[in-house]
Amino acid sequence: MIALGLTACQQQASQPQSLPTMVQVETVTLTDYAPPVRLTGEIRARVESDLSFRVAGRISERLVNVGDHVTADQVLARLDPQQQQATLTAAEAAVQAAEAVLRQNTSTYGRQKALLAQGFTTKREHDQAQEAFRTAQAALDTARAQLGTARDQLSDVVLRAGVPGVITARKAEAGQVMQVAQTVFSIAQDGSRDAVFNVYETIFTRQPADPAIELTLVSDPAVKAEGTVREISPTVDPSSGTVRVKVGIEHPPAAMTLGAAVVGEGRFQARKLVMVPWSALSSKNGHPAVWTVDPGTRAVSLKPIMIEGYETGKIVVREGLRPGETVVTGGAQFLRPQQAVAFTEGAAL
């Protein structure tokens, strides 16, 4: 038995001790993190308006198409003027009749004034003649006003652009009967342009570093412009869950035409965050985690983290790590909690 005990002790002494697992590590430091934000949008006119007739009628001519550039005085469409012409003729006749009545009452009133001065008429007849004169005069004024309205209505059968711009929509054809104020064309006015983006509302939780937004034409990256946020919609689109943002461009390049796709790029204010390599990422109970090393015992433990974002080859950590901690960046797949590790040559503490 003594011999067997000595043999066992010799065997235990001869067995080599297990070596610590070799891993690569990195010391946690804070880094200025200012990620760029790139979104795709569309060039639109700052002012878009609908054009319509002020009177009802049937369209006799349509003179422009979608995409045409028009001037302010250019005629876009015409209505059949038959009804308005008849109204104008009746208004002209009413004016002539009112003028004749006024001439008659003016003559009568003049005679009554002369007779009253000589004492050959009564005050009552004079007052009646004066009242008839004033009534005729008011009737003429009314007839002339109606004549002016009839002339305006006749001129309203011609639809003009009113402003220079580009026709973006056509909603009527020749022969169609139009009601008052029913849209015939939509026009994008010349002048300043907007780059319109649909963004998720979470983007507004961070402060931008610069109000200027760099815009790049998708079809030609050499075409660039600079704009500033001009308008943010106060509501969220229920169908897409996005917020519409308009970036104003005061002097857009000629290549940035209406409907052109652009990429807008901006940056948030820099924040001090931790960045670790992709290889350091592990999982604990289905959540992101990293292996950290105790500097005294060199034992590892799995520590949960919260990720802010992903960069090329890097993970941006929002919470869970402090400056000075040691994180395993290589060999983490062979580790278990409280396992002792050793660092490969060149690894930092």
Q: Is the per-residue pLDDT at 79 higher than 70?
A: yes
Q: Is the per-residue pLDDT at 17 higher than 90?
A: no
Mean per-residue pLDDT, 22-26: 89
Q: Is the per-residue pLDDT at 346 higher than 70?
A: no
Q: What does the pLDDT look like over 281-292, one tens digit per residue? A: 998 888 999 999
User: Can you name the residues that pair with 23 across neighbouring β-strands?
Assistant: 343
Q: What does the pLDDT look like over 112-132, one tens digit per residue? A: 989 988 888 889 998 999 999
pLDDT given at position 15: 46
pLDDT given at position 33: 87
Mean per-residue pLDDT, 306-333: 89
pLDDT given at position 34: 83
Mean pLDDT score of the chain: 88
Mean per-residue pLDDT, 285-307: 91
CATH of domain 49-80+157-189: 2.40.50.100
pLDDT given at position 211: 82
pLDDT given at position 130: 92
Q: What does the pLDDT look like over 200-235, one tens digit per residue? A: 887 877 777 778 899 999 999 999 999 999 999 989
pLDDT given at position 78: 95
Given pLDDT bands bounded at 50, 70 and 90, which one contains residue 342? confident
Q: Which residue has the higher pLDDT, 309 or 97?
A: 97
**Structure letter (DSSP) for residue 232:** E
pLDDT given at position 61: 94
pLDDT given at position 291: 92
Q: What does the pLDDT look like over 145-193, one tens digit per residue? A: 999 999 999 999 999 999 999 999 999 999 999 999 999 999 999 988 9
Q: Is 67 left (phi over 0), alpha (psi -120 to 50) or beta?
A: left
Given pLDDT bands bounded at 50, 70 and 90, which one contains residue 18? low
> Domain 36-46+191-267 maps to which CATH number in 3.30.565.10, 2.40.30.170, 2.60.40.420, 3.40.1550.20?
2.40.30.170
Residues 249, 239: Cα–Cα separation, whole Å: 28
Nearest 5°: the CA angle 235, 236, 241 is 180
The count of other CB atoms within 10 Å of the CB of residue 314 is 15
CATH of domain 21-34+271-345: 2.40.420.20
According to DSSP, the β-strands at 341-343 and 21-27 are parallel
pLDDT given at position 206: 76
* DSSP characters over 21-78: EEEEEEE--EEEE--EEEEEEEEEES-EEEEE-SS-EEEEEE---TT-EE-TT-EEEE
Contact 336, 21 (CB under 8 A): no
pLDDT given at position 22: 87
User: Can you name the residues that pair with 283 across neighbouring β-strands?
Assistant: 288
Residues 102, 97: Cα–Cα separation, whole Å: 9
Query: Which overall architecture, per CATH, does domain 81-156 show?
Result: Orthogonal Bundle (1.10)
Q: What are the domain boundaries of the chain?
A: 21-34+271-345, 36-46+191-267, 49-80+157-189, 81-156
DSSP SS3 for 25? strand
Give me the percent of the chain exceeding a pLDDT of 90.
63
Q: What does the pLDDT look like over 35-56, one tens digit per residue? A: 888 899 999 999 999 999 999 9
Q: What does the pLDDT look like over 239-266, one tens digit per residue? A: 888 999 999 997 889 899 999 999 999 8
Given pLDDT bands bounded at 50, 70 and 90, which one contains residue 268? confident
Mean per-residue pLDDT, 89-115: 94
Given pLDDT bands bounded at 50, 70 and 90, which one contains residue 271? confident
| Residue among 278, 287, 284, 254 at smallest CA distance from 327 | 278
